[in-house]
Amino acid sequence: MIRNILDWLEAAAECTPNRTAYDSPEGKRTWQEVLNQAKRIGTWIARKVSAQSPVLILMDKSPDCITAMFGSVYAGCFYTPLDGTMPEARMKLVVNVLCPGLVVCQEKYRQVAGEVAGGAGLCVLEEMDGEIDEEILIKRRRQHIDNDLLYVLFTSGSTGIPKGVSITHRSVIDFIEWACCALRLPDGVRFASQAPFYFDNSVLDIYCAMRMKGSLFLVSKSDFLFPRRLALTLKEQHIDTIFWVPSALTALANAEVLGKGDLPELKRVFFCGEVMPCRTLNLWKKVLPDADYVNMYGPTEITDVCTWYRVDREFSDTDALPIGSPCKNTRIYLLEGELCVSGTCLSPGYYNDPEKTEAAFIQNPMRKQIKEKIYKTGDLAEYNSCGELMFLGRKDSQIKRNGYRIELGEIECLLNAVEKVVLGCCWYEKEQIVAAYTGEASEKEVKAALKRALPRYMLPDRFLHRESMPRTGSGKIDRLALKREVENEYSVF
């Protein structure tokens, strides 16, 4: 049993040194090159900070960013990646929580890194050259245990202060070993990356590619703005596996740029991060009827995903897709309908924030005899007649109106199934259910479709036809930004 993710990197470099590891339109790195560069960076970092120091990485999504992450690990440290284009105010909030020992950046971000680094040291990637000091790296490796942190990723906090979710080597090792087996990934698997590195969906791509001695192509942001170009990229790059948020899959499916047989090498389509509309799934199945489709679910507070469902039957456009069953070494509890998680996947807590950790990671009430933490996700779920978990929506998205309990997620599912609707979402505001959507469907058509599917008390009060939806950095619908846009447009002065 391995204790450090670097064992996978070293195995890939030994067995397939010249195979492309991580590549992008700007360049590529073989496994041997990733190993050598990571060791050089690790030597540099180890001479600057002590083991298990936080290292903030301020770089574009690139092969160099990944090698900087692995370099941090060689130094016995853990990493937090941030996009260099992120607002400085948010960077400073992250730095205040993380208190990094070192900031590693590209030359282009030297100035902004200096402004947000606080008292941390600053290292510019282009200057981190030199010999590999195997002695210091071996020393750091000997100090390592599998409960050491591998990374801290930051998620939004209700108070406006980002929360740093801590994840250990053991959690990632356990998850990736399960994923490579359960998802039937072949040696040499070729992923196309959609998620930014500060989003936890990127963990599966990065580490499964390494574990299977495969490769990960970093799709440019601009490709996701132009569906025809995106489809061509998948074909030209010989992509056989994707793990994307449903919004990205929906945008490509609705663009009508894919036909049956257009992506002959794409064999595996995985998705997570949002509810997957069955209408989108069915559009993809028309193009790739023989592909393996897997729906996964998991909050940031666990290691990427905690439940999974391999699509094994037909669903109508208006059906809800199961989130399935727990991943290996994971246990799910439904406490008053709220989905709670325990197991190796669980984060030790929010970095440098014991109060929020105690509130979210609670003692398991089902096992009071021993100390065992579970995470309260805030999501509602239930089991269907097949024994599969069904996601019902956020706990705070369940409303009660005129004596009726209403799940906004159910309305949203049906909204996304309406013909000519591309993306839709719902929220409750000022005692009204608001439905916003994009696409060519008229308000009259949307209303008529929902009237045929929903009882009267569940019908939205307001319909907002949008040209586009604001997106988060991970590609999901930015619901807070959308609500602010709507409030600004409908403000009465």
The answer to whether residues 353 and 324 touch, using CB atoms and an 8 Å cutoff, is no
Task: Report pLDDT for 297.
Answer: 96
- Average pLDDT, integer, range 428-442: 90
CATH (domain of 53): 3.40.50.980
Domain that holds residue 188: 168-397
* Residue 247: inside a domain: yes
**Structure tokens that stand for 38 in this block:** 């990571």
Sign of CA dihedral 15, 293, 436, 258: positive
Task: Report pLDDT for 393.
Answer: 83
Give the separation between CA 391 and CA 107, rounded to whole angstroms: 44
- Average pLDDT, integer, range 237-244: 98
Please check whether residues 268 and 368 belong to one and the same domain: yes
* Residue 374: inside a domain: yes
SS3 87: coil
Task: Report pLDDT for 402.
Answer: 64
CATH (domain of 233): 3.40.50.12780
Please check whether residues 172 and 104 belong to one and the same domain: no
For residue 367, how many other CB atoms are within 10 A of its CB?
13
- Average pLDDT, integer, range 182-188: 98
Q: Which of 302, 295, 296 is nearest to 331 (CA)?
A: 302
* Residue 485: inside a domain: yes
pLDDT in tens, 129-145: 889 999 999 999 999 99
Residue 155 has pLDDT above 90, yes or no: no
For residue 402, how many other CB atoms are within 10 A of its CB?
8
Task: Report pLDDT for 484.
Answer: 85
- Higher-scoring residue by pLDDT: 216, 367: 216
- Higher-scoring residue by pLDDT: 161, 34: 34
Q: Percentage of the chain surpassing pLDDT 70? A: 97
Residue given tokens 């002695």 in the structure block: 135
Task: Report pLDDT for 5.
Answer: 98
Q: How many domains does the chain have?
A: 3
Task: Report pLDDT for 479.
Answer: 85
pLDDT in tens, 305-358: 999 999 999 999 999 999 999 999 999 999 999 999 999 999 999 999 999 999
Task: Report pLDDT for 493.
Answer: 38
Domain final position from 338, 373, 397: 397
User: How sure is the predictor about 492, in pLDDT bands with cuts at 50, 70 and 90?
Assistant: very low
Look at strands 54-58 and 78-82 and give their pairing.
parallel
The answer for residues whose C-beta is within 8 angstroms of residue 261's C-beta and 6 or more apart is none
Helix (H) or strand (E) holding 436: strand 432-439
Please check whether residues 136 and 31 belong to one and the same domain: yes
Domain final position from 341, 365, 397: 397
Three-state SS sequence of 189-210? CEEEECCCCCCCCHHHHHHHHH
Residue 157 has pLDDT above 70, yes or no: no
User: How sure is the predictor about 282, in pLDDT bands with cuts at 50, 70 and 90?
Assistant: very high
Which of 200-209, 266-275, 419-428, 452-461 shows the lowest mean pLDDT across its residues? 452-461
Give the separation between CA 408 and CA 100, rounded to whole angstroms: 40
The answer to whether residues 426 and 435 touch, using CB atoms and an 8 Å cutoff, is yes
SS3 137: helix
Give the separation between CA 143 and CA 138, rounded to whole angstroms: 9
Give the separation between CA 383 and CA 397, rounded to whole angstroms: 19
* Residue 300: inside a domain: yes
* Residue 67: inside a domain: yes
Please check whether residues 116 and 191 belong to one and the same domain: no
| β-bridge mates for residue 193, sequence order | 218
Helix (H) or strand (E) holding 37: helix 31-46
The torsion region of residue 330 among left (phi > 0), alpha (psi -120 to 50) and beta comes to beta
Please check whether residues 393 and 474 belong to one and the same domain: no
Please check whether residues 61 and 180 belong to one and the same domain: no
* Residue 285: inside a domain: yes
The torsion region of residue 329 among left (phi > 0), alpha (psi -120 to 50) and beta comes to left
User: How sure is the predictor about 230, in pLDDT bands with cuts at 50, 70 and 90?
Assistant: very high
The answer to whether residues 56 and 31 touch, using CB atoms and an 8 Å cutoff, is no
| Strand residues in 36-189 grouped as ranges (E) | 54-58, 78-82, 102-105, 121-124, 149-155, 163-168
* Residue 154: inside a domain: no
Please check whether residues 210 and 354 belong to one and the same domain: yes
Mean pLDDT score of the chain, rounded to an integer? 93
- Higher-scoring residue by pLDDT: 459, 150: 150
* Residue 162: inside a domain: no
| Strand residues in 258-336 grouped as ranges (E) | 268-271, 292-297, 307-310, 325-326, 330-335
The answer to whether residues 78 and 131 touch, using CB atoms and an 8 Å cutoff, is no
Q: Which of 77, 78, 79, 74 is nearest to 134 (CA)?
A: 74
CATH (domain of 440): 3.30.300.30
- DSSP per-residue codes, 175-191: HHHHHHHHTTPPTT-EE
- How many Cα atoms sit within 13 Å of 445 on the Cβ side? 13
Please check whether residues 133 and 174 belong to one and the same domain: no
pTM comes to: 0.86
Domain final position from 374, 397, 420: 397
The answer for residues whose C-beta is within 8 angstroms of residue 273's C-beta and 6 or more apart is 195, 199, 201, 245, 246, 474, 475, 476
Please check whether residues 195 and 221 belong to one and the same domain: yes
Please check whether residues 114 and 2 belong to one and the same domain: yes
pLDDT in tens, 33-80: 999 999 999 999 999 999 999 999 999 999 999 999 999 999 999 999
Please check whether residues 419 and 295 belong to one and the same domain: no
Please check whether residues 430 and 372 belong to one and the same domain: no
